[in-house]
């Protein structure tokens, strides 16, 4: 068990260091997210009576689109430089590689979220940075990274690659996105987490389900 965590940690640490040095994923995700927010502002400005009505959608759509942009890169650089074969040749449990990568992706998306939450608060004048909302966002992002990481490994071996990823990812993520958006709407309307227990449970359920299925199927995705 300890060895398993060491492998996952090694993969995670490697990804973080690569990202720290290149800043490839972070810059593209962050710039894209800010762009998306500005475009949303153009679309809704003065036309929406209450900004609260659109903020949940804006938040989740921005996170989803920016996230998928970053996830698309997760395996491509590995594949193109041949380091993926190196990783897979290592005599370790492959699901540990999955968890390392998945946590790395999770952290990248969380960093982008940390950037856009204050921006949304400023642009839309809606206070978003509350503990319950951060929890909902975290749960939603876990589900997103869980499915996104394995699908990223899937599409890297196909012809269409990045183009295919959002098409595969978004419909499967529907339950997570819907629960996240619904819970966010509830929180902005003044509900407590207790009132929203249904949606929180749904998020937890799908996070767990997707993690387990990804754990079980990752071997088949990277097998040559």
Partner 1 sequence: MIPSRRTLNILNVLALAGMLVAIYMAMIQAPFAINLTETDRWAQRIIYFHVPSAWSSMLSFLITFIASIIYLARGGQKWDIIARSSAELGIFFTVAAIVSGSIWARPAWNTWWTWDPRLTTYTIVLLLYIAYFMLRNAMDDPSRRARFAAVYGIFAFLSVPITFMSIRWWNTIHPVIMSPEADFGLGPGMTRAFITTNIAFTLLYFTLLANSVRLAWTVERVAALRERILQVH
Nearer to partner 1, 37 or 154 (CB): 154
Nearer to partner 1, 25 or 146 (CB): 146
Other CB atoms within a 10 A radius of the CB of residue 181 amount to 19
Nearer to partner 1, 120 or 154 (CB): 154
Are the CB atoms for 19 and 88 separated by under 8 Å? no
Nearer to partner 1, 82 or 171 (CB): 171
* CB of residue 166 to partner 1, shortest distance in Å: 10
* CB of residue 6 to partner 1, shortest distance in Å: 27
Q: Which residues bind partner 1 (CB under 8 A)?
A: 147, 150-151, 154-155, 157-160, 164, 167-168, 171-175, 178, 198, 206, 209-210, 213, 217, 220-221, 223
* CB of residue 120 to partner 1, shortest distance in Å: 24
* CB of residue 173 to partner 1, shortest distance in Å: 8
């Amino acid at each position: 068990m300890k060895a398993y965590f060491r492998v996952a940690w090694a993969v995670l640490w490697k990804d973080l260091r690569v990202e720290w040095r290149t800043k490839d994923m972070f810059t593209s995700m962050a710039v894209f997210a800010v762009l998306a927010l500005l475009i949303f502002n153009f679309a809704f400005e003065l036309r929406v009576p209450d900004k609260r009505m659109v903020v949940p959608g804006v938040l989740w759509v921005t996170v989803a689109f920016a996230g998928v942009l970053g996830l698309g890169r997760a395996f491509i650089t590995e594949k193109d430089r041949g380091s993926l074969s190196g990783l897979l040749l290592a005599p370790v449990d492959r699901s540990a590689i999955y968890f390392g990568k998945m946590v790395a992706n999770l952290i990248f998306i969380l960093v982008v979220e940390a950037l856009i939450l204050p921006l949304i608060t400023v642009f839309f004048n809606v206070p978003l940075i509350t503990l319950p909302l951060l929890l909902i966002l975290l749960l939603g992002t876990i589900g997103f990274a869980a499915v996104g990481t394995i699908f990223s490994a899937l599409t890297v071996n196909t012809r269409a690659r990045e183009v295919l990823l959002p098409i595969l990812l978004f419909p499967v993520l529907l339950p997570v996105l819907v629960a996240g958006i619904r819970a966010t709407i509830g929180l902005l309307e003044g509900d407590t987490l207790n009132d929203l227990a249904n949606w929180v449970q749904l998020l937890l359920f799908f996070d767990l389900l997707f993690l387990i299925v990804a754990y079980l199927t990752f071997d088949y995705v990277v097998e040559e």
